[in-house]
Homo-oligomer: A and B are copies of this chain.
């Protein structure tokens, strides 16, 4: 175990990258940071973990350049390095959601649990918006919307939805989205809207999925 070949070293280094995302909390951190930059303290709340542990996980991610750290006043703000990280996570999810039986079970439980009758994808949205005018609402917290959103989407954070129902039409279909497939904000939004007799559909994909899809389209 003295002079290992370059090939072995390369595999060693590459596996450091995957090791960094091979922990549920770190994967969740990447997912949260995919929406918007956050401080350590905010992140520790998001992932329900002590600040010290959160910091440690962030350092693991930083050591393989999956995230960047930058001081802003009293806080250190973490952010995703670039879109290649999003593509990596997207590839993991694609494989996981398709292939792992346990995940399929979890997701179908989840759907049953949430009474999701219909849910569309980015591609459905793109097709639909070509044919008709679509009312698209972004129910994530406002700062995440500000950091980036799907064009023509209106920001109505879940917390404000009940008060702002008058801004929405009753005779048109409303499409609601949030952070993506694992996020329940849009589900809750649909529940509220349906209860109030709006025609509302949930879109599973979020801003990140939209952004990646755009890049694919632009690659032509």
Q: Which residues of A does B touch, CB under 8 Å?
A: 6-19, 21-28, 31, 64-66, 81, 84-85, 87-88, 90-96, 98-100, 102-103, 106-107, 109-110, 113, 182, 184, 216, 219-220
Contacts and interface: CB of A to CB of B under 8 A. Distances in A.
A60 to B, nearest CB: 12
21 contacts: A8-B24, A11-B31, A12-B24, A14-B24, A14-B93, A17-B95, A17-B96, A18-B19, A18-B22, A18-B92, A19-B19, A19-B22, A64-B96, A66-B95, A87-B94, A87-B95, A88-B88, A88-B91, A88-B94, A90-B91, A220-B220
Contacts of A81: 99
A101 to B, nearest CB: 8
A69 to B, nearest CB: 15
Contacts of A18: 18-19, 21-22, 27, 92
B14 A103 contact: yes
Contact of A9 (B85, B106, B216): B106
Contact of A110 (B6, B24, B109, B184): B6
Given A15-B27, A17-B96, A99-B81, A10 B182 contact: yes
A81 B99 CA distance: 9
Question: Looking at chain A's contact residues, is the secondary structure mostly helix, strand, loop, or mixed?
Answer: helix
A31 B7 CA distance: 12
- Candidate in A15, A107, A113, A182 with the most chain B CB atoms within 10 angstroms: A15
Contacts of A31: 11
B64 A10 contact: no
Contacts of A13: 96, 100, 102-103, 106
A64 B99 contact: yes
